[in-house]
Structure 1
Amino acid sequence: MLSPYLRAVGGDVPVTPYLRADGGDVPVALNIAGHAAPAPVDTLLANRPFYVAHRLGGTEYPEHTMQGMNAAIDAGFTAFEFSTYRTRDGVFIGSHDWTTKRTTGQYHEIWDTDWSTIQTLEQQAGPIIRLEDAVAAMPEGSVLVLDHKATSATSTHHEGNRRSEAELFDLLDTLFDNPAERVIWKLFSSSDSDQRAADRGYKTMCMLYPSEVADADLTRWDILGMEYNASQEIWDTLLAAGKPTIAHIIVNSGQAATGLSRGAHGLMSSVPSVVAPVRK
C-alpha cells in the first residue's frame, strides 16, 4: 500500500486521493504491487554465456569435493552441477558412480551402505560430501544443477530408485525456500524423470549426444546440452528449438571457444581456473 505525500515547505504533507464519481468523490487507496526479482535460475539462463561448474570443478579438482566447490565459487561461478546417489539410510551424497571404488579406492555400493561408513572414506581431497554440505556452501542466489543418477539416465520403474527420487524432491523442499527457483533438474534423453520434475515446477536440462538428436523431442526439456564439438548442423537443430543451450564438457579455453562458436549459450566447465565467468 502506498501513502501519498505532497512536498511542501516545512515538510511533506500527507494527502488523500479521490476518484470523481456520481454522487460524490470517493477516496481511493493506492495499492501498486512491487516487481519481484527474477528467479536465480532465470537470471543464470539470461547470461551470455552462462557457466555451470561440472561436478564442482571435477577435472581440475577431485570431483564432488569442497575443494572444488570453493575453487568454483572463487572463480565466480553461480551454478554448480552435483551428481548424487542415496545411501542405504537415506543420505544423498556427491557421487557420479554407484560405487565408491573409483574415487576412494574402497568398494562400497552406495545404495547398500550407510552414511556412517561412507563418511569415513577419503578421496584425494578430503571426505565424500552430502548434498546438504554443497547447498550450505552455495552463495546466496546461486543455482544447483542436480543429477539424480538413479533415475537420470534411463526410464525406470524400479521401486527403490523412484522412492529415492521422491525423497530427493522432499529434501530439496527443506533445503531451499523455493527450490524451483534455485534448482535445475539434469537428465539424459532416455530418462522419464523430466515430467516428474516439471510437475514440481523445476526447469529441466537434457544432456544430449549427436546420435540422439534426430529422434529427440526437443520440446520436452527447458535447456538443451550438447557436446561442444558436435557439427554445426546438430547445433543448428538445437538452436532452432528456441531453448537455452549448454556445451559440455569443457576443460580448456579452446573447447569453450568451439562451443560458443557453434551457438551455445552456456558452458559446462570442469576446470574453474581456466573456463569461468568473467567477474565484473
Structure 2
Amino acid sequence: MVTLIASTGLAAVVSVVSLTLTGGHAGGPPLEWGAGPLTVDSLPRVPYVAHRGGAREVPENSMSGLMAAFRRGTAQVLDFDTRVLRDGTPVVFHDATLNRTTFLGGEVRGLDAGEWRNVRLRPRDRLPGSWRAERPPTVAEVLDRLGGRIVLMLEAKDPHGLDRLASLIRARGLTRSVFVNTNDPEVARRVHDLGLLSQLWRSARQLRTDRPGLWRSYVDVLDVDIGARDADLTRAVRSGIPRVWAHTVVTPAQRDRALSLGCDGIITDAPGRLARHPVRGPGTVTAAPGR
C-alpha cells in the first residue's frame, strides 16, 4: 500500500519535473562512450567516491544529484543504492520504504514500474543550492546515462534481484565499470561468481571480529567504516584485498586518518568539501583530486 504524505500547502509549492534521460538505448552502449567504457583501470591511486551522489551536497540517489556530482568532477566514482519493485524492476533508492525521501509512504517493493513513475523525491531543505522534486530513476536509466562515462558503485539492498542487476550490467558491457556492493560476504561471493566486481562493506562493530583475509579471493573492494579502531582498519589494509576504501567520510580529518592508516579510497557524502582541503599527513601536503 502507498500513502500520500500530506503537508499544508506543499503541493502548491512543489514543482515536479520529468527527467529527460539521454544516452543509452536498449541493445546498445551509451552514445557518450566513444571508443569504449571507462573502467576501474582508469581510477587514480586514491579515488574519491560520491556516496549516494554526495548526500550532503545533492539530493541522494537522484538523477540530478548524480549528474551534478559527475559534472563537478570532485569524485571519480558515483555510488547509489538499489531496490527491487514488485515486478522485478531494479530502481535507485536507499530505504525499504518511501517515507523518508519522497512525498509518499509505503514499501518500495509494493510498487510496479508504472506506479514508480508517480513517485517524487523530496529534496532536503538544508541542501546547498536549489533542487526540484523529481522521479527517482531506475537502475537501467542510470547505467544508460552514466555507465562507461565514470566508474559506478551500486549497493544491492535486495540481493534477490542480483541476477537482474547482473544482466543489466552485462548487457551494457560494464562488468569492469561497476562495483556491486553488499554487507554480506556470501552475496559478495555471488557477485564475484557472476563475473562482476564485488564490494563488501563492514561496520566498525563487524570489523572487530572480521578476518578480512578470508575474502581476498572474491572481494575486489573492502569498504571499511571510518569509525573503526586503528587496529581493525590496519588489519583490513593488510588483508590482501586489492582495494580498501573508507566510508562514510565527511571531514578532512577523517579522510587524513584513513589515508594515514593505509586505506586507498575515500567514500564521502561531501566530495566537494574534501576537494577544497588538501590532504595533510606526516611531512606531506597534497591536493585532493579533481577532474
Match in the other structure for 1:240: 238
Shift of 1:245: 0.8
Query: 2:78 and 2:182 mapped to 1: Cα distance?
Result: 15
Percent identity reads 25
Is 2:141 the counterpart of 1:133? yes
- Give 3-state SS (helix, strand or coil) of 1:98's partner: coil
Distance verdict in 2 for CA 1:199–1:39, change over 3 Å: farther
**3-state secondary structure, aligned to 1:273:** helix
Q: How far did 1:206 drift?
A: 1.1
Match of 1:104 in 2: 102
Q: Could you say if the C-alpha distance between residues 38 and 80 of structure 1 is closer, same or farther in structure 2, counting changes exceeding 3 Å?
A: closer
Residue 152 of structure 2 corresponds to which residue in structure 1? 144
State the alpha-carbon separation in 1 of the partners of residues 252 and 155 from structure 2. Answer: 25
In structure 2, distance between residues paired with 1:202 and 1:39: 15
Shift of 1:109: 1.4
Contact 2:37 2:148 in 1 (8 A): no
Q: Cα gap change, 1:217/1:238 in structure 2, threshold over 3 Å: closer, same or farther?
A: closer
Query: Aligned-pair distance for 1:63?
Result: 0.7
- Please say if residues 87 and 93 of structure 1, whose CA atoms lie closer than 8 Å, have aligned partners that are also in contact: yes
- Structure 1: any 5+ residue segments left out of the alignment? 1-36, 152-160
Specify the code of the residue in structure 2 equivalent to 1:66.
Answer: M
Q: Is the contact made by 2:39 and 2:148 (CA closer than 8 Å) also made in structure 1?
A: no
Q: Deviations over 1:132-158 (max 9, x none)?
A: 22223326442121211012xxxxxxx
Tell me if the contact between 1:141 and 1:182 (Cα under 8 Å) persists in the aligned partners.
no
How many residues are aligned here? 228
Cα distance in 2 for partners of 1:219, 1:39 equals 30
Q: Compute the displacement of 1:261 (Å).
A: 2.1
Partner of residue 279, structure 1: 290
Unpaired segments ≥5 residues, structure 2: 1-35, 124-131, 276-287
Assess, with a 3 A threshold, how the Cα gap between structure 1 residues 98 and 203 changes in structure 2: closer, same or farther: same
After TM superposition, give the deviation of residue 94 of structure 1 in Å: 0.9
Divergent runs of 4+, >4 A: none
Cα pair 1:121 1:128 within 8 Å, conserved: yes
Distance 1:67 1:272 in 2: 16
Q: Which residue of 168, 187, 191 corresponds with 1:193?
A: 187
Match of 2:54 in 1: 57
What are the Cα deviations for residues 196-245 of structure 1, in whole angstroms up to 9, with x where unaligned? 21112222111112332323343322211212242221111011113211
Q: CA deviation at 1:104?
A: 0.6
Per-residue deviation, 1:128:
1.0
Match of 1:225 in 2: 223
- The alignment's C-alpha RMSD in Å is 2.2
Q: Is the 8 A contact 1:75 1:272 kept in 2?
A: no
Asked if 1 retains the 8 angstrom alpha-carbon contact of 2:38 and 2:150, the reply is: no
Give 1:118 shift.
1.9
Aligned to 1:182: 177
- How far apart are 1:48 and its partner, in Å? 2.6
How far apart in 1 are the matches of 2:194 and 2:55?
Answer: 29
Q: Secondary structure at the match of 2:100?
A: helix
C-alpha distance in 1 between matches for 2:201 and 2:82? 16
Return the alpha-carbon distance in structure 2 between the equivalents of residues 231 and 217 of structure 1: 15
User: Which has more radius of gyration?
Assistant: 1
Asked whether the equivalents of residues 53 and 79 of structure 1 are also in contact (C-alpha less than 8 Å), the reply is: yes
1:34-65: CA deviation from partner (whole Å, max 9, x where unpaired): xxx99712332xx2311111111123222111
1:66 is aligned, of 63, 66, 86, to: 63
Query: What is the TM-score with the length of structure 2 in the denominator?
Result: 0.71
1:29 alignment partner in structure 2: none
Aligned equivalents of 2:143 and 2:93: distance in 1?
15
Distance 1:195 1:85 in 2: 20
